[in-house]
Chains A and B, each alone.
Chain A
């Protein structure tokens, strides 16, 4: 079984500063994927970034980067130059990519609420 832990219920950041949202995971799968999503109050889950377990480089998408430390089983999201519109709930999720009971499905953490102050 897979488990995602997000230990920060809420985070605050000043506009234009960088912020790191923590995510640790537990899995016995060798091949897996890690995802980050943003969920505004409207409810839509917005895909941000993906990291495969065999990817050697940390994933980056614009202002988002994923600090992947495989040995520590962590996949932290770094948002650079925070904007007011970044205020939302952020979810870390993982998926087994090669069989097992978690094959194909996303397992989500509890989320972190990010508030960006002007």
Chain B
């Protein structure tokens, strides 16, 4: 079975641009969460979606938004990119809202120049 898949794996954007990152959870998993990991730090929670509803939001500005589709895949959108948005963006999936096994994808490496 396929694991959590994320796309694109690497991308370079210019300050002020918009970016969309995509995530497909493990088949059967209904919860998707997004995390930002800046170099040298642990991941920081951005959003959680379960059954297509937002269940949690981290301390990130409104430039960050996300949604979950009927097939449980998800998109993370970031507007008006700043240099500080350069990071690894990780998507995690679990079966339920409080799954005991949370699996991550390989991440999307975003560089803002």
- Which A positions have Cβ atoms within 8 angstroms of B? 4, 33, 35, 37, 42-47, 50, 52, 91, 93, 95, 97, 103-111
- The interface of chain B, by Cβ under 8 A from chain A, is 33, 35, 41-45, 48, 50, 55-56, 58, 88, 90, 92, 97-98, 100-107, 109
B100 touching A33 by the CB < 8 A rule? yes
Report the separation of the CA atoms of residues A88 and B85 in the bound assembly, to the nearest whole angstrom: 24
Are the C-beta atoms of A111 and B56 separated by less than 8 Å?
Answer: no
Q: Complex: how many Å from CA A105 to CA B55?
A: 9
State the CA gap A106–B43 with chains docked (Å): 9
Main secondary structure of the interface of A (DSSP, over half): strand
Q: How far, in whole Å, are A111 and B40 apart by their CA atoms in the complex?
A: 9
Which of B48, B103, B104, B106 contacts A105 (CB under 8 A)? Answer: B48
Question: Least Cβ distance of B54 to chain A in Å?
Answer: 11
**Are A45 and B100 interface neighbours, CB within 8 A?**
no
Contacts of B92 in A (CB 8 A): 45, 106
